Amino acid sequence: MLLNKALIRVGIGIPAGAEFELAQLDDPYHFASARELSLFRRPLPATNLRFLSTVMWDGRETFKDPSSPDCLAGTTTCFASVHFDLLDQANSATLGHAQAAMPLSTAQREAIFSFEIGLSTTQVYDSSAGWLTAQGARGGPSLASQQPSYVGINDALAGDYRSHAAFNPNALSLFDAWANPSAGPADGWERVEARRAVARGQALFNSKPITITGVGGLNDDLHLAVISGTCTTCHDSPNAGNHSVPAPLNIGLADASPRTPDLPLYTLRNKTTGDTVQTSDPGRALITGKWADIGRFKGPTRAPYFHNGFAKDLQAAVDFYDTRFGIGFTPAEIADVIALLRTL
């Protein structure tokens, strides 16, 4: 699993008092039980943490805090700062993974946080488009490290929490200057066209209409069967690509249908209704115990993409979204979106 899909096993049991129970399991490794489900997940990046709103795939290191000013708009659901979350994560990992005998001191936790939060990584050069800061483009880690980010920035549902500006679907603007690039001394026709492709991909990411249906954590929570959006409805943080508030979503990647034989399959039963659902990973539900949270995860990061490595590359990731939401990308549009995503 590690070599083929870059997955590691995580063992988490069904929490006491959960709204569901384990009715049946199919584990190819003959280990899992209700006490400890086997979950296979991608390691998460350790850089660009300043853009996080949710820590860990299932949000287990994102804590609620009623005294925090970072609250979902119009609600009393408030979250501790990412600073607090990462301090807790550093200590938990030291006591758990590193098996330390003593907790980290406050100074040690702060030192780890300062190191983590200062790391910014992006592409700096594209083999087709060239340097990602050429001709006014704003790619690269130096500019990424200066990109403003905070909980609720450009929130797709409620607008910006601080500026109170309306949601701007044009959340990506790094390559605006490449919409009409000129040919420089070292820039041939191929490079100019590659830069145009990146700009077209950015425009598609911002504006290609998507009919969003059946997404747990979005359609059901908002009581809207259909939401008209774009890629930036869920990837609303400006020039970062994540969601600016904690919002793990279920887009079906842990359902039984895309499950491969190397993944366990769990049949869960609702204790109240008797309904059952099959999943390869209950996700957020193993933290909250809530039936509605089954299959909810934060968004994808590096290849292989998604929490379970379902998409081996950008082509597979874009194909998944195109099929799942019936977007209707043309082959040329898919190529342009991939050209954009390669630069991030």
Three-state secondary structure readout of 260-286:
CCCCCEEEEEECCCCCEEEECCCECHH
Q: Say which DSSP state 127 is in.
A: T
Give the pLDDT of residue 181.
87
- Asked whether 334 and 322 are in contact (CB, 8 A), the reply is yes
> How many C-beta atoms lie closer than 10 Å to residue 139's C-beta?
24
Give the pLDDT of residue 72.
95
In 3D space, the residue among 277, 276, 228, 233 whose CA is nearest the CA of residue 252 turns out to be 277
Token readout for 287 is 């933290």
Give the pLDDT of residue 327.
98
Do the strands 210-212 and 227-229 form a parallel or antiparallel pair, or are they unpaired?
antiparallel
> How many C-beta atoms lie closer than 10 Å to residue 344's C-beta?
16
Give the pLDDT of residue 301.
66
Strand partners, 21: 269
Output the tens digit of pLDDT for each of the chain's 344 residues: 999 889 999 999 999 999 999 999 999 999 999 999 999 999 998 999 999 999 999 999 999 999 999 999 999 999 999 999 999 999 999 999 999 999 999 999 999 999 999 999 999 999 999 999 999 999 999 999 999 999 999 999 999 999 999 999 999 999 999 999 887 767 788 999 999 999 999 999 999 999 999 999 999 999 999 999 999 999 999 999 899 999 999 999 999 999 999 999 999 999 999 999 999 999 999 999 999 999 999 986 667 899 999 999 999 999 999 999 999 999 999 999 999 999 99
